[in-house]
Chain A
Amino acid sequence: MGILLATLTAGLGSALPASADETPTKASPKVELVLDVSGSMRTRDIDGQSRMSAAKQAFNEVLDAVPEQVQLGIRTLGADYPGDDRKVGCKDTKQLYPVGPLDRTEAKTAVATLAPTGWTPIGPALLGAADDLEGGDSTRRIVLISDGEDTCGPLDPCEVARDIAARGIHLVIDTLGLVPNAKIRQQLTCIAEATGGTYTAVQHTDELSGRVKQLVDRAAEPVVTPVATEGADSCADAPELKPGLYTDREKFAEHRWYKVAVQPGQELRASVSVFADRAVNNDYGMLLRAVTTHGREIVRGSESGTGRTDAISSGLRYPKAELDDDESTPETVCLQVSNSFSAPASVKTSPGMPIELTIDLVDGPDEAADVAAFGLGHGWWLLGLLTLTGLIVGLLFGWISRWRVAVWRTN
């Protein structure tokens, strides 16, 4: 499957429009492990050992199992400043091991030197990690392991995470919480949700190493990276999309327009997902419309939902009929994406929610001339009718020919 996915990436990568300057190459994925080394990591509540030694043990196992192609880095937060000055304490984050090809021994030695020390500046650590992962067009993943709430306001780490995600650098933050505490859980789930990552509550050392390994492996799985685009608020100004995978951002109740040129005899396939990357109200929906340049709706895809969700999506097909003459002027089809998400007043509405568009243009379908395949029949009624018809025709022919013989004989 890995190979198939790799070819998929390669295939899509080389086919993406040249106008988009992000030409995905086979860049190796980058992962940064962000470890909380705050004073509270001293607490002995994971399988009888301290959180710090559990984390160290897990890191050793993870470092041994990192796939070859992954560039791995390690960043710490709260590792150096033991004092009480909040201002200094809240800047205390540094790169322990740079993102790059991994030297396992060196990385392990670096981890071994860590001792629980300072504050918990999660926000600055995430910003630092995002900078560490800068450059290239590989997929990026931050794995944040923390046992404490960010005590360093006003920078809300959740907002930080959303802003990082909005940079459009395909970055996912997965979080692991070492303490089953409602506030920490809320903060870490919020960070994960904002970037499409996952949250895990860790209670045992083997869970920690197993999960981090799983997340690093996930980063190594090659995926198609979407191309960033920006939809306009009317069809006239909309960007023209070629077949491919795109991302954009859309605020609540905003409309985004895109254009696709469809040749006669081609079929346009478009699907859109709107990701709920923040706390949203319970009922939501989205609408994708294909509209002509004159504003006539051709076809739409819509979906609504309720309850907990990561995304809502819909799609549409538009086979453009072959024209009778040899004209092959492409038709410009406008795609309108709108959503009916809403959120409690406390939730920030910008940046908008991430959306993902897939555009495909394939040959048109063989249109149906009949309901049934090739207009053929099926079932016992058909057999009965045909048999009865055959019998009646046979009898008629028999009688007619008998009558003709009789007439011929009398003459």
Chain B
Amino acid sequence: MSRTRRVLAGALLTGLALLTGASAAAADDASPSPSASGDGSGPTEAGTTFRTATAIQQGETATAGASTGDYLYWVFPADAGQRATVTAKVTLPESAARHGAQTWQVDVYDGLRRRQACMYGKQTGTAAADAATVELTCVLRTVRANAEQWANDPLPGSYYVRLTVVGLAQADLGLPVHTEVEVNSKDQGGSADVDGSLSKPLIPGVSTAEQASDDGTNASAEPVALAGEPEDGWSSGWWTSRWLWTAGGGVLAALAGVFGYSVTRGRGRPTHVPPGV
């Protein structure tokens, strides 16, 4: 397991770093960036409902040709500690064919189909009658490993992206558009790590798929979770850089204790004690 190795190496290095007075904040960078591995090319179709949403991975650029007025759906996995940014680009039909400004919107829903708020970014954008493209972004809240049942905090699991036009001249319905969607995320490090964890990520149909594979009715079938699993799998939930911070604190405390003790003893033997005692 590369993670275990990394953790051990990280712990050793941090111990050394602390001893030599280097910054412990380096620990925050120990977690890998999940989006780094994307090669950029993704699916070329989009779904039209939650059920038919096209699965994409973070870092992939998904494209789709569509008609103005279609509701386009994609689904991507997001794991605890990630703050995902959805960017969408709509290439509009040539302005000669259009009859006015168009307003496009990107919405993000979690695995329970609860709408997720965008912290920053232009979620809704209006393209003037002569504009060629409209670009939208939505920065989601950091995904947490666990939340109370009454909260709608983002949890690990599937996230649905819905892209559609919300305002247009009726005469523009049905005109061809080209859309591009990309999801990237930033690892928020230990400060976002909360206690507790879900037994299964929020993926619709996860329990039925599990049942099916338990029954052995479809031996070759991978569990459904794979359809929306991050490339390197879901995190086990036990690793957090808080281990390093806390352990580092312990090391510092011990060193400070030894230092404090030695200060009270002075340097070498006390001057008034004669030799030979």
Whether A associates with B in a native complex is yes
Residue of A nearest to B151 (CB): A317
A394 touches B259 (CB 8 A): yes
Bound CA span A214–B44, Å: 11
Bound CA span A16–B167, Å: 40
A4 touches B190 (CB 8 A): no
A316 touches B195 (CB 8 A): no
B145 touches A373 (CB 8 A): yes
B245 touches A365 (CB 8 A): no
- A361 in contact with B207 given A14-B212, A376-B243 (CB within 8 Å): yes
> Shortest Cβ distance from B10 into chain A, in angstroms?
15
B206 touches A362 (CB 8 A): yes
- A378 in contact with B260 given A14-B217, A303-B114 (CB within 8 Å): no
A308 touches B207 (CB 8 A): no
> Shortest Cβ distance from B261 into chain A, in angstroms?
4
A390 touches B252 (CB 8 A): yes
A390 touches B257 (CB 8 A): yes
- A5 in contact with B176 given A369-B195, A378-B190, A379-B245 (CB within 8 Å): no
Tell which of B65, B171, B173, B262 touches A199, judged by Cβ atoms closer than 8 Å: B173
Name which of A36-44, A124-132, A267-275, A345-353 contacts chain B: A267-275
Bound CA span A245–B207, Å: 11
- A residues less than 8 Å from B218 (CB atoms): 7, 10-11, 14
> Shortest Cβ distance from A344 into chain B, in angstroms?
16
> Shortest Cβ distance from A326 into chain B, in angstroms?
20
Tell which of B112, B191, B249 touches A315, judged by Cβ atoms closer than 8 Å: B112
Tell which of B115, B227, B261 touches A8, judged by Cβ atoms closer than 8 Å: B227
- A residues less than 8 Å from B112 (CB atoms): 269-271, 301, 314-317
Taking CB atoms and an 8 Å cut-off, the chain B residues in 153-179 that contact chain A are 164-167, 170-171, 173-176
- A residues less than 8 Å from B261 (CB atoms): 394-395, 397-398
Q: Would you call B55 an interface residue if the criterion is a C-beta within 8 Å of the partner chain's C-beta atoms?
A: yes
A360 touches B207 (CB 8 A): yes
**Which of B113, B164, B191 gathers the greatest number of chain A CB atoms within 10 Å?**
B113
CB 8 Å contact bits of B11-35 with A (1 = contact, 0 = none): 0000000000000100000000000
Q: Interface residue count for B (Cβ, 8 Å)?
A: 95
Bound CA span A155–B208, Å: 42
A198 touches B260 (CB 8 A): no
- A residues less than 8 Å from B253 (CB atoms): 386-387, 389-390, 393
- B residues less than 8 Å from A10 (CB atoms): 212, 218, 221
Taking CB atoms and an 8 Å cut-off, the chain A residues in 349-408 that contact chain B are 356, 358, 360-379, 382-383, 385-399, 401-402
Bound CA span A24–B167, Å: 39
**Which of A270, A310, A360 gathers the greatest number of chain B CB atoms within 10 Å?**
A360
Q: Would you call A283 an interface residue if the criterion is a C-beta within 8 Å of the partner chain's C-beta atoms?
A: no
Q: Would you call B91 an interface residue if the criterion is a C-beta within 8 Å of the partner chain's C-beta atoms?
A: no
Interface residues on A, range: 35 or more
- B residues less than 8 Å from A366 (CB atoms): 146, 196-197, 199, 237
Tell which of A4, A358, A360 touches B226, judged by Cβ atoms closer than 8 Å: A4
- B residues less than 8 Å from A186 (CB atoms): 170
- A residues less than 8 Å from B176 (CB atoms): 200, 207, 211
Taking CB atoms and an 8 Å cut-off, the chain B residues in 104-118 that contact chain A are 109-115
Taking CB atoms and an 8 Å cut-off, the chain B residues in 232-260 that contact chain A are 237-238, 240-243, 245-246, 248-250, 252-260
- B residues less than 8 Å from A243 (CB atoms): 207-208, 211
Q: Would you call B48 an interface residue if the criterion is a C-beta within 8 Å of the partner chain's C-beta atoms?
A: yes
Main SS at interface, chain A: mixed
- A residues less than 8 Å from B55 (CB atoms): 1, 4-5
Tell which of A245, A314, A373 touches B242, judged by Cβ atoms closer than 8 Å: A373
- B residues less than 8 Å from A310 (CB atoms): 49, 71, 164
**Which of A218, A362, A401 gathers the greatest number of chain B CB atoms within 10 Å?**
A362
- B residues less than 8 Å from A358 (CB atoms): 113, 204-205
> Shortest Cβ distance from A162 into chain B, in angstroms?
17
> Shortest Cβ distance from A215 into chain B, in angstroms?
10
Residue of A nearest to B28 (CB): A378
A16 touches B208 (CB 8 A): yes
Q: Would you call A15 an interface residue if the criterion is a C-beta within 8 Å of the partner chain's C-beta atoms?
A: yes
A308 touches B49 (CB 8 A): no
A271 touches B113 (CB 8 A): yes
- A residues less than 8 Å from B173 (CB atoms): 185, 189, 199, 201
User: A200-B176, A366-B199, A395-B264 known; 11 other A-B pairs, CB under 8 Å?
Assistant: A7-B222, A11-B208, A198-B66, A207-B176, A273-B113, A316-B112, A373-B193, A376-B240, A379-B245, A394-B263, A397-B257
Show 28 residue pairs from A and B whose CB-CB distance is below 8 angstroms, ordered by the A residue: A1-B43, A14-B217, A15-B208, A199-B67, A211-B67, A218-B48, A218-B52, A224-B51, A245-B208, A299-B150, A314-B112, A356-B51, A358-B113, A362-B200, A366-B237, A371-B195, A375-B195, A377-B246, A378-B190, A386-B250, A386-B253, A390-B253, A390-B254, A390-B257, A390-B260, A394-B259, A394-B263, A401-B264
